[in-house]
Amino acid sequence: MTRRRWIVALSLLMAGVSVGVFAQRGRYGGYGWRGRSGDWQDRGRGGVPDWEVDQSFPGDLFTFARVRYESRGGWGSKWATDYRDSDLNFSLRLHQLTSLKVNPEPVVLELTDERLFDYPFLYMIEPGALYFREEEVKALRKYCLNGGFMMVDDFWGEQEYRNLADQLKRVFPDRTPTEVPLEHEIFHNVYDLKEKPQVPAIGQARRRSDGTIETWERSWNDDTRTPHYKAIYDDAGRIMIFICHNTDLGDGWEREGEDPWYFEEFSVKKAYPLGINIVTYAMTH
């Protein structure tokens, strides 16, 4: 495993990734809402390009794995926000911009799924009303302590953060999320980020006449003004859970084909670079 991690790390760092290779594509849609039943109707890849993988090494592919969970208050579909466009787009960009071997087909699974340990990276979105069942608490704790990594994204304000913190306290009663400093390698291992990025929801940002950018989240709401990146670490100092609060990286992945300015300003400069850094960290630790 040590040798394999070094190979993954070197292949990513030697890939010569650059935001300059981005080219905006058209609007795609992988899944759509199908009414009150709460079901999701598969529309395939929605135009997102496919690619061939080496069938000789099916277990060596990185697969984007999204967590399906229950929510309080009838918000049963929160886990599916930005699904499935963001998962497909991010997988494509990871395939294009690094030499990591990437599965073109992302997956969705619950924390109690017997396949959980096949996926070293998990993605969870909009946990503002998240509720873990007791068996999920145990499964996530075991997964993380055995080397797994989970990224949490797209939730806003103190109330939503408090709900997530309460649920994670059930998973790790003796561990508390702490702010990750900008100097941490997760902000620099592939793309060298100069700030902790905040990606607003599409349609909530504009460029002022003086060239500065105004967003609703930063300019009009004190509770969401500052992006926070927090983590829960294991005893060796490895990040097990990486929390992206007051930001929406998933929208930067999902919405890349809708607005050229949003794509250039937030997808290219912020959402994809940090997402690739996070996956690189997860796959090399």
Q: What is the DSSP string of 39-97?
A: -EEE-TTTTPPP----TT-GGG-B--EEEP-EEGGG-TTGGGTTTTHHHHHHHHHHHHH
**Structural domain includes residue 27:** no
How many whole angstroms separate alpha carbon 231 and alpha carbon 170?
A: 15
**Structural domain includes residue 25:** no
| Tokens standing for residue 77 | 């579909």
Question: Which range marks the domain in which residue 249 is found?
Answer: 2-9+63-284
**Structural domain includes residue 156:** yes
- The pLDDT of residue 2 is 52
Q: What angle do CA 135, 136, 137 make, to 5 degrees?
A: 90
| Tokens standing for residue 175 | 């561990």
**Structural domain includes residue 19:** no
How many whole angstroms separate alpha carbon 65 and alpha carbon 121?
A: 7
| Tokens standing for residue 51 | 């690619």
pLDDT for 159-169, tens place per residue?
A: 999 999 999 99
**Structural domain includes residue 126:** yes
Q: Nearest Cα to 280, choosing from 180, 145, 152, 151?
A: 151
- The pLDDT of residue 33 is 33
Distances (CA, A) of 203 to 199, 223, 224, 281: 11, 19, 16, 31
**Structural domain includes residue 148:** yes
**Structural domain includes residue 193:** yes
Characterize 181-192 residue by residue with b for buried, 16 or more Cβ atoms within 10 angstroms of its Cβ, and e for exposed. eeeeebbebbbe
Strand pairing report for 121-125 and 213-215: unpaired
- The pLDDT of residue 5 is 54
Which domain CATH number covers 76? 3.40.50.12140
- The pLDDT of residue 202 is 86
- The pLDDT of residue 220 is 61
How many whole angstroms separate alpha carbon 188 and alpha carbon 202?
A: 26
Q: Nearest Cα to 257, choosing from 38, 49, 43?
A: 49
Number of structural domains (the chain) is 1
Orientation angle between helical segments 272-284 and 2-13, nearest 10 degrees: 160
- The pLDDT of residue 30 is 41
Q: Nearest Cα to 93, choosing from 283, 285, 268?
A: 268
Q: Which residues of the chain have pLDDT under 70?
A: 1-43, 58, 73-76, 211, 216-221
**Structural domain includes residue 201:** yes
- The pLDDT of residue 260 is 87
